[in-house]
Amino acid sequence: MSSSIVTFTLGDREVDVMVTPMTTLQTVLRYQLGQTAVKEGCRQGGCGSCTVLVEGEPMLSCLLPVEEVAGRHVRTVETDTPTDGVSPLQQAFLDGGAFQCGYCTPGMLMTATALLERDPHPTHEAILEAMAGNVCRCTGYTPIVAAVEAAGERRG
Amino acid sequence: MSVQEYLMPRSLPEALDLLVRHGAELLVIAGGTVAMPLVNEGISLPERVMSLRHAGLDRLERRDGRLEIGAAATLTRLLNAPWVADVPLLAEAVRNTASWPVRNMGTVGGNLFTPPPGGDVAVALLALDAEVRLASPRGERVLPLTAFYTGFMTNALGPDELLAGITVPLAARETAFLKLGRKHANTPAVVTVAVALEREAGRVATARVALGAAGPHPMRVAGAEAALVGSPLDAATIGRAAEAATAEAQPFTDGVATEWYRRRMVGVVLRRALERLT
């Protein structure tokens, strides 16, 4: 087995990682690049907790061999958080108490970020449809959906 | 043992060449949404994996009265195609498949390899008389999708063949898609039904009825189709079609539903789908 170097853009910096074949993007982000917001949930594509944005599209990093993002742009909660403070979406989650254990939160934030970038003022139904792949086992969906709605409204 | 090599061919000929060279030891993936969970869990332990994401198999075209769908086109790209509203059955099936991030990765071709209760898009494609284009170093052959499936997780692909694309003839048909799951969205099917009909002078002239999660693979139910053809689409006809489909289904028990429940739901879901067209 031969290791290879994969280069991609993580937020605003270019990163090189040395990987064995078909290492998942989730493993690389979390264990090689310190992006601990990228959670390892089911590793089946069923829970959404490892959601990241690839070229702005939400994708499940546990199902994505890192070779597939060579030369592409990847975003995580870490890359999307301002150096000081939090993003408006994160603030809406804080204000609305939109988490209990917090494990699903990074995935929820990434999917909601992609939704708000496409549709700055999503309807309740649009939020439910977009976020159907993000599972919260504390079952705190109501404040999560309300936080995304509030973030949309605050954009004015 | 971990994967020794991850191959990313840049063209169909290159992909076919790698397939012939590595043969049965090669795991072929596209979106990875079905294969990767098995690899992650160690259920599938491939030595070599070939990704079809970059092999130029992702074209989407509408021309000469048909849709040409590249096998590696993602479900999201299909849903965003400018003409998708003209094929509501297909659009509904894609919209009811998995979740947004999975649709951003999963492909139309991959849906044909998804074991039940998956494969909702394939159910719609069956009702639309889709054909599959199978490519090999010898050239390409075309099969009706009905002939593609040969059993549970088996198909008509030869050892040197890849699914290159799917052709959907465009025709004026009345269609309905209905999926019953355990929740409203992002759910495996209890039963999925797709129907496409033509009517002449108040009677059903042609009928396609396809079921998902009701057999070893997505399948048409000939008895239900025969019950519809030649009759007006009234309650009695719908009842006969639902009865025929219930008898013809080969449901199974899994974590989603029991065989008993699925068989009963085949009739209920087909009746509801047909009632949408009355």
- State whether B230 and B136 are in the same domain: no
Domain boundary at B122, B153, B169, which?
B169
Domain boundary at A63, A80, A97, which?
A80
Is there a contact between A57 and B76 if contact means CB atoms under 8 Å apart? yes
**Which CATH number characterizes residue A49's domain?**
3.10.20.30
- Give the integer Cα–Cα distance in Å for B56 and B44: 26
- State whether B24 and B40 are in the same domain: yes
Asked if B72 reaches chain A (Cβ–Cβ under 8 Å), the answer is no
- Cα dist. B236→B34, B139, B227, B239, B242 in Å? 41, 48, 10, 5, 10
DSSP at A68 = G
CA distance, residue B100 to nearest chain A CA (Å) = 6
Show the domain range for A17: 4-80
- Give the integer Cα–Cα distance in Å for B104 and B121: 15
**Which CATH number characterizes residue A102's domain?**
1.10.150.120
- State whether A75 and A97 are in the same domain: no
Q: How many domains does chain A have?
A: 2
- Taking CA–CA distances from A44, the nearest residue in chain B reads B37
pLDDT in tens, B121-149: 999 999 999 999 999 999 999 999 999 99
Domain boundary at B108, B139, B169, which?
B169
**Which CATH number characterizes residue B15's domain?**
3.30.43.10
Asked if B6 reaches chain A (Cβ–Cβ under 8 Å), the answer is yes
SS3 A63: helix
**Which CATH number characterizes residue B221's domain?**
3.30.390.50
Taking the mean position of all CA atoms in its chain, how far away is CA B122? 1
pLDDT at A1: 61
Q: How big is the CA angle at A17 (ends A16 and A18), to the nearest 5 degrees?
A: 130
Measured between beta carbons, which residues in chain A are less than 8 angstroms from residue B99?
48, 132-134
Q: Tell which of B8, B44, B76, B100 to mutate to test the A interface (max A CBs under 10 Å).
A: B100
Positive or negative torsion for Cα B265, B270, B276, B278: negative
pLDDT in tens, A83-104: 999 999 999 999 999 999 999 9
- State whether B203 and B161 are in the same domain: no
- Cα dist. A53→A23, A108, A120, B178, B276 in Å? 18, 12, 17, 31, 38
- State whether B178 and B196 are in the same domain: yes
- State whether B66 and B156 are in the same domain: yes
Is residue B122 within 8 A of residue B132, CB to CB? The reply is: no
Could you please report the per-residue DSSP string of B143-212? EEHHHHEEETTEES--TT-EEEEEEEE----EEEEEEEESSSSS--EEEEEEEEEEEETTEEEEEEEEEE
Q: How many domains does chain B have?
A: 3
- State whether A46 and A102 are in the same domain: no
Asked if B151 reaches chain A (Cβ–Cβ under 8 Å), the answer is no
- State whether A43 and A93 are in the same domain: no
Domain boundary at B169, B201, B230, which?
B169
- State whether B84 and B100 are in the same domain: yes
- State whether A53 and A75 are in the same domain: yes
- State whether A18 and A69 are in the same domain: yes
A15: β partners: A8
- Give the integer Cα–Cα distance in Å for B123 and B101: 21
Positive or negative torsion for Cα B254, B39, A104, B118: negative
Q: Which of residues 56-85 of A touch B (CB under 8 A)?
A: 57-60, 62-65, 67-68
- State whether A15 and A76 are in the same domain: yes
- State whether B165 and B178 are in the same domain: no
Show the domain range for B221: 174-275
- State whether B118 and B88 are in the same domain: yes
Asked if A140 reaches chain B (Cβ–Cβ under 8 Å), the answer is no
**Which CATH number characterizes residue B145's domain?**
3.30.465.10
- State whether A71 and A100 are in the same domain: no
- State whether A74 and A93 are in the same domain: no
- State whether A70 and A95 are in the same domain: no
pLDDT (tens, 9 = 90+) of chain B, 278 residues, equals: 589 999 999 999 999 999 999 988 899 999 999 999 999 999 999 999 999 999 999 999 999 999 999 999 999 999 999 999 999 999 999 999 999 999 999 999 999 999 999 999 999 999 999 999 999 999 999 999 999 999 999 999 999 999 999 999 999 999 999 999 999 889 999 999 999 999 999 999 999 999 999 999 999 999 999 999 999 999 999 999 999 999 999 999 999 999 999 999 999 999 999 999 99
- ipTM for this prediction: 0.96
